[in-house]
Amino acid sequence: MHIQSMISSHPHVQGNTNDALIRAVQEACDCAAVCRICADACLGETMVADLVQCIRLNLDCADVCAAAGAVGARRTGSNEAVIKSMLEVCADTCATCAAECDKHAGMHEHCRLCAEACRRCEDACREAAGTITPSQH
């Protein structure tokens, strides 16, 4: 909600927002936070040795989501090619992380919630990427 109103007040936007992109930025910020917490919660489980791959994919996903959210929120200039690529990589990274978290979702609620956040972010990034047609340079 804050991200929506902030981007709407940007001088280059003038109320003419790309709502799919705003949703992707919001989901990427949320997903980054959720993935970081899932990594830490996995570290706190007694069966941590079985969750090593999950932790690593959580951390990768957090880093990629944070970058996608930051790049997607910048409206000054016209770096559409980079925004589109980052959204696509972010969607793929979220899909990989969700698939791993799903394996542990029955046992660990944090993995179940993290898989959900990753799927929401994946969907939002794919939809937003579809709205962007990089101009030829």
Residues in the site for a copy of itself, rule: CB under 8 A? Answer: 2-3, 5-7, 9-12, 25, 29-30, 33-34, 36-41, 43-46, 48-49, 52-53, 55-57, 59-60, 63-64, 66-67, 69-71, 73-77, 79, 81-82, 85-86, 88-89, 92-93, 96, 108-110, 113-114, 117
Please state the closest distance from residue 20 (CB atom) to a copy of itself, in A: 17
d(CA 19, CA 8): 10
- Is residue 128 within 8 A of residue 93, CB to CB? The reply is no
Q: How far is the CB of 127 from a copy of itself (least distance, A)?
A: 19
Residue with tokens 């956040």: 117
| CB-CB contact of 54 with 43 (8 Å) | no
Residue 30 CB, nearest approach to a copy of itself (Å):
5
Written as six digits, the tokens of 39 are 């990594």
